[in-house]
Amino acid sequence: MTTLSGSLLLTFRELWAMRLTQAMLAVATLAWLLLSFALNMDVVEGSLAAVRIFGLESTPSDGVYNEETGEWVSQALSLDKFMIGINTFVFGAAYFLGTLLGLFATMPLINGFLEHGRVDLLLSKPLSRPRLLLGHLAGVWITVFLLSAYLVGGVWLSLSVKTGVWMPRVLMAIPIITVMFAVMYSVILTIAIATRSSGLGLVITYGLIFFSIMLASHEQLVPVLSSTAAAIFMTFYHVLPNFIEVVTVQAQLVEGEAVTTWYPLISSLIFGAVLHGIGFFWFSRRDF
């Protein structure tokens, strides 16, 4: 157990030494401090009548004309919708920006891990290669989990205390961000193990993320493609991670709706599991 903790500790320290990790923590802190202290809400009969940020008041936009009474009625925003809106924004920022920046930030981490003079010293220690790699991966996963929990959890807690509306389902964003980060990280790691180039791994991972934008519109694209092209496209859809479509799953979870399909998340998880398997296999077999 001590050997694994050494591998974990090394990864934590390395991540903490990176400026970007510290910057992410600072941004998350700023986000929930802003919501805690700078945001004031006027709640009237369970609806949001006005929002003040740093003392600047913003009332809900134009009123609605009531034909029966012939009066303009102020359009109040329900607190639930406000909570969902803020949390969706935070999730989106953490999911997209956090993942893209996080993957970029971890590139030197992988380089360092596989560097000559570092990896051979690590491999000379009395722990198996899978255990060593697991320690590295677990360190990354735990850090991403803690960072997203700090941001999403902090924002959720701050808003819930302010509004009195507690929607624990928004916390589902934390495991989703962590899991999807792990899926995308497996691409960089596996390619870096095979080629010793984490840069190539990062380019391919970003490519997969952008390609998943196309995969997400498969319902619109497939009907206009030839049967062969459609078959190829759908093969990609089933095999590659559906990074963008997972956002729909999260949105439905936050809004409290029944999730239409878990498939994008499940297929992405399978992709990640297979890539991790390949990564572990190569790491165990190759010479350093």
Residues in contact with another protein by CB under 8 A are 2-3, 5-7, 9-10, 13-14, 17, 112, 115-118, 120-128, 131, 285, 287-288
- Sign of torsion over alpha carbons 37, 42, 48, 52: negative
Nearer to another protein, 42 or 120 (CB): 120
Q: How far is the CB of 51 from another protein (least distance, A)?
A: 42
Number of C-beta neighbours around residue 162 at 10 A: 16
Work out how close the CB of 153 gets to another protein at its nearest, in angstroms, rounded to a whole number. 28
CA distance 242 to 209: 8
Between the alpha carbon of residue 112 and those of residues 62, 99, 108, 225, the distances in Å are 56, 20, 6, 44
Contact 192, 278 (CB under 8 A): no
Q: Could you count the other beta carbons within 10 Å of the beta carbon of residue 246?
A: 24
In the complex with another protein, which residue's Cβ is closer, 47 or 197?
Answer: 197
Specify the DSSP class assigned to residue 171: G
Sign of CA dihedral 264, 269, 274, 276: positive
Q: Kindly tell me the burial class for residue 45, based on how many C-beta atoms sit within 10 Å of its own C-beta (0-12, 13-18, 19 or more).
A: exposed
Query: 199 to each of 96, 108, 273, 287, how far by Cα in Å?
Result: 19, 9, 22, 20
Question: Among all chains, which residue has been given the structure tokens 């993942």?
Answer: 99
Task: Tell me whether residue 13 or residue 81 sits nearer to another protein (CB atom).
Answer: 13
Cβ closer to another protein: 206 or 288?
288
Q: How far is the CB of 194 from another protein (least distance, A)?
A: 14
Report in angstroms how near the CB of residue 187 gets to another protein at its nearest: 23
Phi/psi at 73 (nearest 5 deg)? -115, 135
Nearer to another protein (CB atom), residue 2 or residue 227: 2
Residue closer to another protein by CB (options 29, 284) is 284
Closest CB 196 distance from another protein, rounded Å? 12
Residue closer to another protein (CB basis): 6 or 153? 6
| CB of residue 25 to another protein, shortest distance in Å | 16
CB of 111 to another protein, least distance (A): 11
CB of 208 to another protein, least distance (A): 25
122 or 192, CB closer to another protein? 122
| Residue 15 to residue 137: CA distance in whole angstroms | 12
* Contact of 107 with 196, CB cutoff 8 Å: no
Q: Amino acid letter at 93?
A: A
